[in-house]
Structure 1
């Protein structure tokens, strides 16, 4: 293909562009056809650089940049000059007309990015639109480095069902880079450019489950049911917030921080058992209807979910025997619980929502947050929660994390 727009023709082997306007998504064809009618140079542009004529048709750049680009095109200037006039990177030339399904925003322009990303452009025109959308989403949320990482993930191409994972991967990466946020404090490992897709998805899911746990513990019962104490040299300390749960899970090498959906914050209590400051066991007490709502040992596990020594069991029984047992207190109102959880959810997500506000991805993400909150019995636009009817299960301390 020659550099001059007046001499540009489709390359041999290139996808058929006999009717270039017809290859664009239907809702943009009228705008592009209007440009093509202005002259043969625009028809040639639609054939050899679909992204550039699409950008002109959808208002990319300032009015001055658009006018400068049109002047270059009509005067037979080079594709490079026309793209530079509009501020559009040349790497978009590798994409077919089918890729341009939404107005272009935050297109990465760095030379290093451009020289490498072209190696990951999908061969299938049908996959190119989804690929481009995800690259631009990553660029707008976290910058070029994350956009390049996203563009390399071929396994994500062609699977619209992965849209939720993509949205939360973007949020996870953003919180990884913004260390002063509450969301960052809940990360197990932050995003790194060297991460593979499987590890990134795993870490994102761990992070989301920790957020779920934080919301679950937003209104923890102030009544400990049993008092912290010491028995046979072992200190028995109740865990109250997500930070304490995370620290316990890390030290005990279990998944205590991952099972908010299995933990009833009102009818269960989790205690850390320590010997001279070293964590040696995790104890779950649960209320059982069959014994009048009094506490019952649901689980007592050591490091990596191993059996604990008889001394630990004896210490727990001695500690329990020294307490005044009574039924679990009544929970707070559903309205109060939901209100506290909504406030915490807003505090966690607000920095990211503000960072992407004004973008077409913000509304998509808010929809995912509302969907996720609803699945966890929260309503971000209401303080009335859906009532849970499933039976409580004990916390699975050593269940492997599913990817």
Structure 2
């Protein structure tokens, strides 16, 4: 037994130990497949150290991908860049640890600008890596490359603020933010920009989905039955808020939450009115039934910014209400969730997205769906 043989044996033992440690860093579900692939050739096994993502992609290929050509590149000793290209795998994934891969690696952005910038936002923690890769992949697919870079940064910056369950909504909002000729873009009051923080993005996206809900609940036509008649009493004008545009104008002027009442109005739960004097908006009035009373009542009467309305406005509103034959008003409430959404508004809103992405996702169906809307 020679010294050289002992040294070689020692080096091989160390090399095997290092490989086994790296192998254990892969997800337990796929560890067997990775090990089996690595055992086919020493150069494939070397990928565990030099390019963990490539080894994983060869062992756990995504659907419809044949890894044969990429495997041949590795075994033939070609460059890692060439092997990655054969595997249709971005080279920037080389820097991610084995822990990042918890399923087949989907198509990812690989433009020159993206490659340069994504390197600034890699997760430092291996524990964060799988979530980071998943959200970058999802946002790249659902929105666009700039949004994928943005979410990569935000997840590293404030991991607790990034809720994967909200990424569909944020991605849709980010996508429509740069689609200026679409109906969806028209409904955005604050568009996505790369310098936004996650908290601001969530607020803006929630505001956008509220606008969407108002439109798809009420559609383009005015509300046919406002229960009451427009009129004047004691110098106050009672003006119906019977359309999406009228509700939005009132909400903006009075700084209140009227935009959230789309479903409420569609299910015949209440009606909204504006109280004005000489053209000036004084208060917003909501009429509905409450408790066991089957007749319409004043549910809310608020000044601008939800301030307390003066007594004389309450008196005038009650007097105006009593000028109607309340017994004849149909205030029958529809069971929640049974009023269909407006199909024309739904199709007009989402069609540009379906066409651009060349698919109609199951979570954003062609048939108007309250369940899908609420799940965003």
TM-score by length of 1: 0.73
Indicate the residue corresponding to 1:394 in structure 2: none
Distance (Å, rounded) in 2 between the aligned partners of 1:102 and 1:215: 37
Distance (Å, rounded) in 2 between the aligned partners of 1:345 and 1:164: 25
Indicate the residue corresponding to 2:99 in structure 1: 98
Q: 1:254 aligns with which of 247, 253, 256?
A: 256
**Change over 3 Å in CA distance of 1:126–1:221 after alignment to 2:** same
Tell me how far 1:333 sits from its aligned partner.
6.1
Tell me how far 1:153 sits from its aligned partner.
1.2
Indicate the residue corresponding to 1:338 in structure 2: 338
Distance (Å, rounded) in 2 between the aligned partners of 1:171 and 1:375: 12
Indicate the residue corresponding to 1:144 in structure 2: 145
Indicate the residue corresponding to 1:387 in structure 2: none
Whichever of the two has the greater Rg, that structure is: 2
Tell me how far 1:250 sits from its aligned partner.
1.3
Does structure 1 residue 24 correspond to structure 2 residue 22? no
Higher alpha-carbon deviation: 56-65 or 78-87: 56-65
Indicate the residue corresponding to 2:48 in structure 1: 46
**Change over 3 Å in CA distance of 1:181–1:352 after alignment to 2:** same
**Which structure would you say has the larger RCO, counting Cα contacts within 8 Å and 6 or more residues apart?**
1
Indicate the residue corresponding to 2:3 in structure 1: none
Does structure 1 residue 81 correspond to structure 2 residue 82? yes
Distance (Å, rounded) in 2 between the aligned partners of 1:200 and 1:290: 41
Answer whether contact 1:209 1:259 (CA < 8 A) is retained.
no
Computed over aligned residues only, the root mean square deviation of the Cα atoms, in angstroms, reads 4.1
Indicate the residue corresponding to 1:270 in structure 2: 272
**Change over 3 Å in CA distance of 1:32–1:167 after alignment to 2:** same
Answer whether contact 1:105 1:140 (CA < 8 A) is retained.
no
Q: Which structure 1 segments of 5+ residues have no match?
A: 1-15, 379-403
Higher alpha-carbon deviation: 176-185 or 94-103: 176-185
Answer whether contact 2:44 2:55 (CA < 8 A) is retained.
yes
Measured against aligned partners, the alpha-carbon deviations of 1:109-132 in whole angstroms (never above 9, x if no partner) come to: 122222222232222222211110
Q: Which structure 2 segments of 5+ residues have no match?
A: 1-17
1:246-325 equivalences in 2 (<5 Å): 246-258=248-260, 265-288=267-290, 293-308=294-309, 312-313=313-314, 315-317=316-318, 319-325=320-326
Indicate the residue corresponding to 2:170 in structure 1: 169
Number of positions where the alignment pairs a residue of Structure 1 with one of Structure 2: 357
Measured against aligned partners, the alpha-carbon deviations of 1:21-64 in whole angstroms (never above 9, x if no partner) come to: 43322343344334322311111112211112222334469979
- The alignment partner of 1:326 has SS state of helix
**Change over 3 Å in CA distance of 1:265–1:251 after alignment to 2:** farther
Higher alpha-carbon deviation: 122-131 or 170-179: 170-179
Distance (Å, rounded) in 1 between the aligned partners of 2:324 and 2:246: 23
Tell me how far 1:65 sits from its aligned partner.
8.5
Indicate the residue corresponding to 2:38 in structure 1: 36
Answer whether contact 1:214 1:241 (CA < 8 A) is retained.
no
Distance (Å, rounded) in 1 between the aligned partners of 2:358 and 2:100: 24
TM-score by length of 2: 0.77
